[in-house]
Structures are given as structure tokens and as C-alpha cells.
Amino acid sequence: MSANPSVIQSVTDVLGGTPVFSGTRVPVQTFLDYLETGDRLDDFLEDFPTVAREQAVAALDLAREALTQNASPPR
């Protein structure tokens, strides 16, 4: 699966190709770090106002799809 270009982009000229939210310089890893440490989505959006709520939710949808698309059925 490839990331939706309206959500995440990786361009050599932007942070050396680090995946960022499209149209921003905010690394997707920063978003994941926020969630990992227990911060809320609203906390992240407040700290990074260039990221739209729709982009963040779409990134979570992409992550869910990536994690579940090849999951084995329960035995």
C-alpha cells in the first residue's frame, strides 16, 4: 500500500525525504511519537497547526489498513 499523496509525502527537498504531512514540514514520526507517549490528537493538532485534522485522521486510517491488511485470521 502506498500513502495517499494528499496525506503523506516524502520529497528529497523537504527534510531530506522524511515522510511528512503533505504541504507541511511536520514529520509523521512526530505524530506517532505524540500518540505513543499518550498525547491526544488535539494536543498534536494544537502544537502543529499546519496539519489538518483530516490529514491526521487519514494517516491513522492508513496505519490501520497497513496493520490489518495481512493479519492472520484467529485460530
- Residue 52 covered by a domain: yes
In a domain, 43, yes or no: yes
The domain total for the chain is 1
What is the pLDDT, as a whole number, of residue 40? 96
Do the domain assignments include residue 37? yes
71 in any annotated domain: no
Q: What is the CATH number of the domain that holds 52?
A: 1.10.10.10
In a domain, 58, yes or no: yes
Domain assignment present for 3: no
Residue 74 lies in a domain: no
| Each residue's pLDDT tens digit, 10-38 | 889 888 889 999 999 999 999 999 999 99
Which residue segment(s) compose the domain that 40 sits in?
8-66
Which range of 1-5, 16-20, 35-39, 67-71 scores highest in mean pLDDT? It is 35-39
Termini Cα distance of the chain: 26
